[in-house]
Amino acid sequence: MLNPKLEDYRIILASGSPRRQQFFNDLELDFELRFREIDEVYPDHLKAAEITDYLAELKGKAFEGALAANEILVTSDTNVWHKNEALGKPKDADGAFEMLRKLSGTTHQVITSVSFKTVEKITTLHDVTEVTFAELSDEMIAFYIEHNKPFDKAGAYGIQDWIGLVGVQSITGSYPNVMGLPTHLVFDFFKNF
């Protein structure tokens, strides 16, 4: 549906996330992948969506001077915000265990920002979804970490994984956003581009 509207543009997805790539396929967008490594470091004073907005834009800055006039670069960042603390990707199994213990029996926010960069401007949008976990036993957490190794996921979990099936009591907001891309915002941006 979007491709005829965007036929004069080349969409570039700068994400190694297989979930984001699948979402772009599911939206039936023609796109290519390009990668640039960056240090995902942000100023300490940033909170909640300020963090993901900053990191999504930072990922785009790595392409400064490398875009053609007809290219639209899409970068994104997802984070878990819980009790005034950002829970990014865990460094190891102990970090993952600690994060999931914090999330057990509580509600947190999953925030994903998407930045659309052209040679002329940057537009950054974000979405917030509330996720409530049931009480997770230490045994459940250890099982999940051992079998799913969620070290590439903010908050140490994927809602589409086993832990989401058995531990998530409710969500308020966009399910794809929790998986790493607010697809409705991406669709609306390209529809109105």
Coil, strand or helix: which one is 138? Answer: helix
Q: Determine the Cα–Cα distance for residues 69 and 33; give it in Å rounded to an integer.
A: 17
Nearest CA to 13 out of 60, 70, 51, 58 is that of 60
Is residue 127 within 8 Å of residue 185, measured between CB atoms? Answer: yes
Q: Determine the Cα–Cα distance for residues 107 and 130; give it in Å rounded to an integer.
A: 7
Gap between the terminal Cα atoms of the chain: 13
Q: Determine the Cα–Cα distance for residues 108 and 31; give it in Å rounded to an integer.
A: 32
* Selected catalytic residue, list 44, 77, 92, 138: 77
* Helix, strand, coil percent content, the chain, rounded in steps of 5: 35, 25, 40
Distances, alpha carbon 101 to alpha carbons 12, 17, 72, 130, in Å: 37, 25, 40, 17
Confirm whether 77 is a catalytic residue.
Answer: yes
**Residue bearing tokens 């509580």:** 106
Catalytically active residues, by annotation: 77
